[in-house]
Structure 1
Amino acid sequence: MIRAEQYIKAFPDNHLEEHGPEEVAAYLEQQVRTDGIEDWQFRQIVDAIQNLFAMLGVTWLPEVDWKFWMDSADSRTECHPTVAAGTSAKKTIDHLSNIKHSKLADVRKRHIEILTQLLVALRIRNYSIRTEQSYESWVTRFISFCGNREPEKLGSGEVVSFLQHLAVQRNVAESTQNQALNALVFFYDKVLKQPLGDIGNFVRAKRPRRLPVVLTRSEVAKILGQMAGTQKLMASLLYGTGMRLMDCVRLRVQDIDFGYQQIVIRDGKGKKDRVLPLPERLVNQLKTHLEAVHEIHETDLEKGLGETSLPNALEQKYPDGAKEWGWQYVFPSGRLSVDPKSGKTRRHHIHENGLQKAIKNAAQQANITKRVNCHALRHSFATHLLESGYDIRTVQELLGHADVSKPIRLI
């Protein structure tokens, strides 16, 4: 009650009915920078505001990234995939080693130098930030499994024991075990300079591969019918184009070509570009959405802001590119944030968790018992194209599969 009253008093000239995501973001942005507020107090503030507007039944509630704000209390934003690549490798490990209640914190503190070298080796080879986080996690777990000993003194025997532990005791999927193996092979080869070579036979994970969830056309319509605003538009793009979740989240304004009615996916999975057809029924919605985003960008520019992050080294090549309209994200965050590398205040893209939760909630409201997530819309896109008579090779190219000669497992 006290936290909610404090929020209301902060806007003496605005009634709650006039509030939206912008007011919430502005208030929380101010509170997160206030000295003297403990982590638990900031979580209390976020929770109180969320419950306040949930009680009022506002339609824009899902547009606020409540999880992001909760995570901000622990200062975890620097390690989130959306900004972690801009943080130095040592700073990344330092942050991970200081996360409260982490079972791997002690391992990271003791082996901070070698883990930093691992991140540097991954970044030199331009691995994705999610692969970087995955590999670092597996190497840290491996060292922990071996009693926190020096990794230089561990060899193929310990690697085999760890992989078999994952398969037998942890009962992980085959893909998970393979991911752990790939991480350790990279670590020993590129960082320790002690290639594992042939590690021999070991117990392989035998958990069966699960068939993907595919929705019927009517089920897709029901789910989209339970959604509204930006999240409905994003979900419609996932189903209408078959793009991946992060492909959608990272779209830039210049990637949408209304003239040719196509969307360019740049630097997608596997560092590959591809072109997708822009669904005709979404053209007007996208144009209206971009007009609203453009107003936000213009307002930011008037305040001396308006920058976003640029990929790779383009910031050095185009010093003013970060403020250009074409480089702005199609789905920008509702708040400004400080870039941990440059220290500049910028507007990044929206957090993917909001859309994931919205689709799951929409499926529950539509009384769909299937395990629905963002990827289910991608599976449904491909299946419905095949049912309509499209060539399987064309469908695979739209999905961005690395090898179009391999059949897709959808139905």
Structure 2
Amino acid sequence: MSTRTEQIAGFWSNYLAQLELAELELAELELAELEKAEIRTDRHRWYVLRAERFLEAMQPQRLAALSAQDVSGYLCDVGRDTSLAAWEFVEIVDAIRNLGVTAGAPWVEAVDWSHWQTSAQIMAAEHPTVARDYGPEIGGLEPAGPMTNLASVRAAHQALVDRMLAEIRRRGYSIRTERGYLDWVLRFIAFHGGRSPTELADADIGRFLDWLAVKRRVSASTQNQALNGLLFLFREVLGRDWMQCADFALAKRPKRLPTVLTKAEVARLLGALEGEFRLMASLAYGAGMRLMEVLRLRVQDADFVRRQIQVRNAEGEIDRLVPLPERLIPGLMVHLEAVRELHRQDLVAGFGEVYLPDALARQWPDAGREWIWQYAFPSARLSVETGSGKTRRHHVHETSLQKKLKGAAAQARISKRVSPQTLRHSFAMHLLEDGHDIRTVQELLGHADVSTTMIYTHVQNRGGQGVRSPLDRLL
């Protein structure tokens, strides 16, 4: 008969074997992702250590006697440790899951591992949701060629930057537009050797745009964004309102038709998702919401009585109402009850505050702790904000849903590029197929111009342009 020490050693041997088996399964599923996802041998002892810490925290309960709530509660506590990096948190989740698999524990199937793994990433200070709390940041990739240090360019022209930011914010432009415009202005200055735009003329704009198109080979949309940012600088900030867009050649953007799923493909895709990610994807399709509109959904925005959702601060700073699918209501209510309990625990632990937009935090200092303002899809992690120093629970990171949809599409054998925007396109397309008029669809999507919505009519009906192929008419 083996001793207790031998039994324990044998268990951890099986535990490590299970880790190696997980590596092989990852290799079979997606070889391209193996290098990023594999569990390296030199990390094995850390997995064992993290599993042992979990067992210590759960004492005196036996492993098999634990519930899914016990495991989730432990991970909630770990998620309040803001010193952990995202990869460390994922490692803890994987270590506990592997522990349950090795022991054959019944709670393994009941825990939503996808939630804990994919919502480990916390929002950085430059994230669009919170960026204006910390002041403007430079977005985009690091420049190549003659532009090597945008930070020094910005420091040398800080007064001009401040004037431009004031004009942008006075007009209520989005944080993404603000970043894009500022980024291109700084690149423009760097391209001309750091000279002030007050010393530059129209021809200098043309040379910069030619360089982007010919040397850098940027897309037409990128060229146009650069032009719009520079025109804003010269017209609105420097007062050269006589400059006209016609003076410069706008790049011709290629007309791309949206990728649309069939109703059967949507059903297969949603069927391959679980938990909160299925809810988020269902809202993107069932309500036609954009990715960030889904993630920034607040508890108070869902009206279960009127079966509608209020989308706040959408593109153009315009609120709109969209339908709340009735078949989602039971699952969404259960999900929100779990979120309410998480919020209650955060409050007990001394946290529980959420980010509030614009000046609401100043008007109602305590509103950030109220239940109605909490995100419907909160992150598994708390974040310490660089600017304010506050610890808050933000919404899940956008890459979480994007990655889950990509995996679900592969599992559902959908040979199309699937993203949250694809579900929004499918929402519009299927409404038109069901007989709804284009103006209704325009309002639901929040398009400022019906011409934007008209693109869906090009992929409607059957075949190219709705024409039946002559091949199908042959006897």
Scaled to the shorter chain, the TM-score interval is 0.7 to 0.9
Tell me the residue number matched to 1:164.
210
Structure 2 CA distance for partners of 1:201 and 1:227, relative to 1, 3 Å: same
Distance 2:245 2:263 in 1: 48
Q: Residue in 1 aligned with 2:130?
A: 83
Identity %: 45
Q: Which residue of 2 aligns with 1:63?
A: 115
Residues 169-178 or 299-308, more deviating: 169-178
Post-superposition Cα deviations, 1:55-106, rounded to whole Å, max 9, x if no partner, equal: 669773432465864xx7xxx81111122111134xx46xx79x9x776662
Contact 2:260 2:423 in 1 (8 A): yes
What is the aligned partner in structure 1 of residue 353 from structure 2?
A: 307
Matched, 1:111 2:154: yes
Residue deviations 1:333-387 (CA, integer Å, cap 9, x gap): 2122223443322222121110111111111121211111110001101111111
- 2:81 is matched by which residue type in structure 1? Q
Work out whether residues 432 and 441 of structure 2, in 8 Å CA contact, stay in contact via their aligned partners in 1: yes
Q: Does 1:374 find its partner at 2:420? A: yes
Question: In the alignment, is residue 126 of structure 1 matched against residue 172 of structure 2?
Answer: yes
Q: Which has the larger radius of gyration?
A: 2
Q: Is residue 349 of structure 1 aligned with residue 395 of structure 2?
A: yes
Aligned counterparts of 1:368 and 1:207: Cα–Cα separation in 2:
28
Q: Which range moved further: 283-292 or 162-171?
A: 162-171
Match of 1:394 among 440, 462, 470: 440
Q: Which runs of 5+ in 1 are unaligned?
A: 34-41
Query: Residue 7 of structure 1 contacts residue 27 of structure 1 at CA under 8 Å; is this kept in 2?
Result: no
Q: Structure 1's 102 and 249: CA in aligned 2 closer, same or farther, altered over 3 A?
A: same
Report the Cα distance in structure 1 between the residues aligned to 2:326 and 2:231, rounded to whole angstroms.
Answer: 46
> Is it true that 1:13 corresponds to 2:65 in the alignment?
no
Q: CA deviation at 1:272?
A: 0.4
* Secondary structure, counterpart of 1:276 in structure 2: strand
Whether contact under 8 Å (1:238, 1:244) holds in the other structure is: yes
Structure 2: which 5+ runs fail to align?
Answer: 1-42, 102-107, 460-475
Q: Does 1:317 align with 2:363?
A: yes
Per-residue deviation, 1:239: 0.4
Alignment of 1:142-153 (within 5 A): 142-153=188-199
How far 1:269 moved relative to its partner? 0.7
Is the Cα–Cα contact under 8 Å of residues 168 and 205 in structure 1 kept in the other structure? no
Provide closer, same or farther for how the CA distance between residues 49 and 115 of structure 1 changes in structure 2, counting only shifts above 3 A: farther
CA gap of 1:202–1:338, structure 2 versus 1, over 3 A, is: same
Give the partner amino acid of 2:124.
T
The answer as to whether partners of 1:164 and 1:204 remain within 8 angstroms in 2 is no
Aligned equivalents of 1:118, 1:356: Cα separation in 2:
33
What residue in structure 2 maps to residue 32 of structure 1? Answer: 83
1:385 and 1:395 in contact (8 A); partners too:
yes
Matched, 1:338 2:367: no
Deviations 1:292-346 (A, max 9, x none): 1111111122223221122211222222211211111111121222234433222
Instruction: Give CA-to-partner distance per residue, 1:247-285, whole Å, 9 cap, x none.
Output: 111111111111111111111111001111111100101
Q: Secondary structure at the match of 1:230?
A: helix
Residue aligned with 1:126, SS: coil
Counterparts of 1:257 and 1:120 in 2: how far apart (Å)? 36
Letter in 1 for 2:126: C
Q: Distance in 2 between matches of 1:313 and 1:292?
A: 29
Task: Choose which of 240, 260, 264 in structure 2 pairs with 1:218.
Answer: 264
For the residues of structure 2 that align with 1:380 and 1:137, how far apart are their CA atoms?
Answer: 33
1:135 and 1:183 in contact (8 A); partners too: yes
For 1:269 and 1:115, the matched residues in 2 are separated by 24
8 Å CA contact 1:156–1:199 kept in 2: the answer is no
Cα deviations by residue, 1:37-61 (Å, 9 ceiling, x for unpaired) = xxxxx57646745765786697734
CA separation in 1, counterparts of 2:280 and 2:87? Answer: 30
Does the alignment pair 1:408 with 2:454? yes
Q: For residues 270 and 207 of structure 1, do their structure 2 counterparts lie closer, same or farther at Cα, with a shift above 3 Å needed? A: closer
Residue type of the alignment partner of 2:394: H
TM-score, structure 2 length as denominator?
Answer: 0.74
Q: Distance in 2 between matches of 1:65 and 1:135?
A: 35
TM-score normalised according to structure 1 size: 0.84
Any conservation in 2 of the 1:167–1:203 contact (CA below 8 Å)? no
Root-mean-square deviation (Å): 3.1
CA contact (8 A) 2:81 2:382 kept: no
- The more displaced of 368-377 and 185-194 is 185-194
* SS of structure 2 residue aligned to 1:79: coil
| SS state at 1:78 partner | coil
CA distance in 1, matches of 2:285, 2:226: 31
Paired residues of 1:3 and 1:44 also in contact (CA < 8 A): no
CA contact (8 A) 2:120 2:381 kept: no
Residues 302, 308 of structure 2: 8 Å contact kept: yes
